[in-house]
Structure 1
Amino acid sequence: MTKPFTIDLEPDLDDQVAEIAQAMDQSKAWVVEQAVREFIAVRDWQAAAIDEGIRAADAGEFAEHDAVVEWIASWGGPDEKPMPKCG
């Protein structure tokens, strides 16, 4: 079951949605729904990754900032350093 929803788009964006819909032989509503689904999926993934990072940091599972900066600065050089250990 779907619920009606109205959205106001800037003309250029509406034209882009219309072009995509036509190319995919779908309605503009379908294209917008897919975009919203993808946005929510990415947002949920990002929130879960942040939560996992916070849990790991709270458990002491992180590399020291200075060690990471030093490692990144060495990339591509003859004395490239190994990735810092978490701990």
Structure 2
Amino acid sequence: MTSHVVSLRISGEMKERLDRLSSATNRSATALAEEALEDYLSQHELEIEALDAAVERADKGDFVSHEAVAGWLRSWGTADEGAAPKPDIIKTHR
């Protein structure tokens, strides 16, 4: 894999924290920063994928009403805890 240089400015406090962690873990500051950036990107990519999937489902027009969700949530922790509600608002034209 080809590597590229990326330059960024960080606060003095963040640099001190990075240096302390680097020393404590016997890893380079560069390796730690690369790992942190990889974790950040992976997390946000998953969030974007989830949002895109939710928008796609919403665009289909089938929704669960507030009332159905509220009733389901009220059942949590009770002897009559219900299953997740099915869509009860259906878009008629697609």
TM-score tier by shorter-chain length is 0.7 to 0.9
Deviation (angstroms), 1:61: 4.5
Take 1:15 and 1:86, find their aligned partners in 2: how far apart are those partners? 52
The alignment-based identity, stated in percent, is 24
The residue that corresponds to 1:39 in the other structure is: 40
The structure carrying a bigger strand percent of its residues is 2
The residue that corresponds to 2:82 in the other structure is: 81
Deviation string, structure 1 residues 44-68 (Cα, Å, up to 9, x no partner): 1110110011111222344222211
After TM superposition, which residue ranges in structure 1, 4 or more long, deviate above 4 angstroms? none
Answer 1 or 2: higher relative contact order, Cα 8 Å, separation at least 6: 2
Aligned residues: 87
The residue that corresponds to 1:64 in the other structure is: 65
Deviation (angstroms), 1:2: 3.3
Take 2:35 and 2:23, find their aligned partners in 1: how far apart are those partners? 15
The residue that corresponds to 2:5 in the other structure is: 4
Deviation (angstroms), 1:16: 2.5
